[in-house]
């Protein structure tokens, strides 16, 4: 039975090969000064920067540049972004890039009028914003995080060796997001598949809880099948519009709060992955891939029924002649084979982790208790050792 919930997602989406024209509808709604947020330069190489800057000029905007947002944006960069926004009294934060740019824009948006240190207030104490929030818009160039239609923002504090995601309420969602699948053609394949696994795991995090039959889980199964199908096309044919658009659309629905409606959620793979990310600064999707199998094998006996359903519904495992445990294990093996096929299967060591980091990564792992099994510290260590 689904629990009680309220669902409201205020982000307006423009999807398709001409989606960028949506800026002509959106930009007039905001004041003159736009902070243009982007990453390390991919948008200058693939033409997206020029197209966005032209539309900003056509709409009479003054552009304040804020480039150099790194993958896994840091507290230092956040403080710089806040300083820029304050100095220029910006009216809109326009993030052009992947989840890192979009997450960063949201963190800046809640911090501009916040007198306290944003890391302490929002990410350590997990408080909500009480002051004016500067609106955020997003032009997405990488499919994965779902940041384009949610209130999540993940910030890394290297000094504290912590990577923390704060899920803000819908006031912090982007006001609009532009989703043009062709903008993802220029992604290196490694980033594409990291995004694919991130999408898949977001769905798993919301799927692996509860024992009832429900619509949210049925939606999740359909999304997982589509992500797997489209990923197999995109690794062979990176400019396949259909596959790129299916991946982009699935990413949005995988983490815009819909498929978690009425359910408890797990999120333990993300907690392990984020702690690993704090130590290695590795690409988010790969950090999840490194810890997934040992984690799911450990919790499988506690949620066996759902793992059996996952094996049959997502991986088409034939149950004939198998025990439930064998069906569930066959499902995880099929998932692992797919991860190998698309090139995301990896170990923590592949990402730069070493044995002496395990205790620290375990300390940085936030323990959740809403999946099938609340991990003990010893179990966290066991998973990390098996993932190494
Ligand atoms: O910096 P540039 O030059 O733009 O290059 C980026 C970056 O190196 C590149 N890239 C992006 N679009 C491209 C492109 N390169 C060529 N062509 C394009 N079209 O890809 C690299 C990775 O980009 P990034 O934005 O870091 O990737 P992603 O979208 O995976 O975002 C990762 C961040 O989002 C957080 C992660 O923890 C991580 O910090 N997450 C945010 C979530 C949320 N808001 O709900 C949930 C997720 O679980 C995740 O934790
Ligand atoms: Zn993720």
Summarised one tens digit per residue, pLDDT across range 176-209 is 999 999 999 999 999 999 999 999 999 999 999 9
Which residue minimizes the CA distance to atom 41 of ligand 1? Answer: 145
3-state SS class at 63: strand
pLDDT at residue 317, rounded to an integer: 98
Phi, psi of 75, rounded to the nearest 5 degrees? -65, -35
Alpha-carbon gap, residue 283 to 314, rounded angstroms = 26
- Ligand 1 centroid to Cα of residue 195, in Å, is 8
Residue 116 has pLDDT above 90, yes or no: yes
Q: What's the mean per-residue pLDDT of the chain?
A: 97
* pLDDT of 203: 98
Alpha carbon distance 327, 91 (integer Å): 54
Residue 229 has pLDDT above 90, yes or no: yes
Task: Name residue, tokens 């947002």.
Answer: 69
Choose which residue among 142, 186, 187, 201 to substitute to test ligand 1 binding: the one with the highest number of ligand atoms within 8 A of its C-beta. Answer: 142
Average pLDDT over residues 283-309: 98
Question: What residue owns the CA closest to ligand 1's atom 17?
Answer: 187
Q: Span 107-120, mean pLDDT?
A: 98
- Looking from the CA of residue 72, the nearest atom of ligand 1 is 39
Nearest ligand to the CA of 41 is 1
Residue 1 has pLDDT above 90, yes or no: no
Segment 72-99 mean pLDDT: 98
Q: How far is the CA of 100 from the centre of ligand 1 (A)?
A: 5
What number is the average pLDDT over the span 228-239?
98
Nearest ligand, CA of residue 292?
A: 2
Alpha carbon nearest to ligand 1 atom 15, residue = 187
**How is residue 256 annotated by DSSP?**
S
pTM: 0.98
* pLDDT score recorded for residue 98: 98
Residues with CB under 5 A from ligand 2 (ion): 198
Say how far apart CA 276 and CA 289 lie, in whole Å: 11
> How many angstroms does the Cα of residue 199 sit away from the middle of ligand 1?
12
Supply φ then ψ for residue 178, to 5 degrees. -100, 120
Give the confidence band of 353 by pLDDT, cuts at 50, 70, 90.
very high
pLDDT at 386 over 90: yes
How, if at all, do strands 136-140 and 92-97 pair? parallel
Say how many Å lie between the CA of residue 185 and the centre of ligand 1.
14
Q: Which residue has the tokens 């900003």?
A: 56
Q: Return the residue matching tokens 């304040």.
A: 64
Mean pLDDT of 46-64: 98
Q: Which of 43, 68, 71 to mutate to test the pocket of ligand 1 (most atoms within 8 A of CB)?
A: 71
φ, ψ for residue 140 (rounded to 5)?
A: -85, 135
The answer, yes or no, to whether residue 2 has pLDDT greater than 90, is: no
Q: Ligand 1, residue 183: give the atom nearest the CA.
A: 19
Report residue 58 as tokens.
């056509």
Q: How many residues does the chain have?
A: 388
Region of poorest pLDDT, from 2-11, 28-37, 130-139: 2-11
Question: CA-to-CA distance for 79 and 100, rounded, in angstroms?
Answer: 15
The average pLDDT across 24-53 equals: 98
**What would the mean pLDDT of 271-293 be, rounded to a whole number?**
98
Instruction: Please state, in angstroms and as integers, the Cα–Cα distance from residue 139 to each residue in 22, 149, 180, following that order.
Output: 10, 11, 8
CA torsion, ordered 168, 172, 176, 182, to nearest 10 deg: -50
Which is nearest to 31 in space by CA: 65, 59, 66, 58? 59
* Region 100-111 average pLDDT: 98
For residues 77 and 73, what is the distance between their CA atoms, to the nearest angstrom? Answer: 7
Long-range contacts, stretch 115-121, CB < 8 angstroms, 24+ apart: 118/75, 118/78, 118/79, 118/82, 119/75, 119/78, 119/155, 119/157
Residues with CB under 6 A from ligand 1: 39-43, 46, 71-72, 97-101, 103, 141-142, 144-147, 150, 152-154, 165, 183-184, 186-187, 191, 195, 198, 255, 270, 284
Task: List the beta bridge partners of residue 153.
Answer: 166
From ligand 2's centre to the CA of 142, what distance in Å?
Answer: 13
pLDDT (0 to 100) of residue 348: 98
> Which of 302, 304, 306 shows the shortest CA–CA distance to 214?
306
Q: Find where tokens 């824009």 sit.
A: 105
**Lookup result for tokens 């797990």:** 266
Confidence tier at 259 by pLDDT (50, 70, 90) = very high
Average pLDDT over residues 264-269: 97
């Amino acid at each position: 039975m689904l629990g009680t919930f309220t669902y409201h997602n205020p982000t307006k989406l423009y999807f398709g090969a001409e989606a960028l024209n949506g800026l002509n509808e959106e930009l007039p709604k905001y004041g003159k000064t736009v902070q243009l947020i982007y990453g390390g330069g991919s948008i200058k190489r693939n033409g997206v920067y020029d197209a966005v800057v032209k539309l900003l000029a056509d709409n009479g905007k003054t552009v304040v540049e804020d480039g150099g947002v790194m993958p896994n944006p840091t507290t230092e960069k956040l403080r710089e972004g806040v300083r820029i926004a304050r100095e220029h009294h910006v009216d809109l934060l326009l993030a052009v890039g992947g989840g890192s740019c979009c997450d960063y824009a949201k963190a800046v948006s809640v911090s501009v009028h916040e007198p306290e240190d944003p890391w302490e207030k929002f990410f350590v104490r997990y408080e909500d914003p009480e002051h004016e929030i500067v609106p955020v818009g997003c032009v997405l160039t990488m499919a994965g995080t779902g940041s384009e239609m949610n209130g999540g923002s993940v910030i890394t504090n290297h000094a504290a060796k912590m990577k923390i995601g704060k899920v803000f309420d819908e006031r912090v969602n982007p006001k609009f997001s532009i989703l043009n699948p062709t903008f993802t053609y220029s992604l290196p394949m490694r980033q594409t598949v990291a995004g694919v696994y991130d999408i898949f795991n977001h769905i798993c995090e919301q799927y692996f809880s509860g024992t009832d039959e429900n619509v949210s889980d049925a939606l999740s199964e359909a999304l997982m099948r589509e992500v797997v199908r489209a990923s197999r096309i995109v690794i062979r044919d990176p400019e396949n519009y259909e596959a790129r658009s299916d991946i982009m659309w699935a990413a949005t629905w995988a983490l815009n709060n819909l498929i978690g409606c009425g359910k408890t959620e797990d999120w333990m793979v993300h907690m392990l992955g984020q702690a690993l990310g704090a130590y290695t600064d590795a690409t988010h999707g790969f950090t999840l891939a490194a810890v997934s199998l040992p984690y799911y094998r450990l919790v499988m006996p506690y949620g066996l029924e759902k793992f059996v359903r996952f094996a049959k519904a997502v991986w088409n495992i034939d149950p004939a002649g198998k025990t439930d445990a064998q069906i569930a294990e066959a499902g995880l093996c099929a998932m692992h084979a797919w991860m190998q096929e698309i090139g995301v299967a990896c170990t923590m060591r592949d990402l730069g982790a070493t044995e002496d980091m395990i205790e620290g990564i375990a300390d940085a792992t936030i323990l959740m208790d809403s999946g099938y099994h609340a991990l003990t510290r010893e179990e966290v260590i066991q998973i990390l050792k098996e993932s190494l």
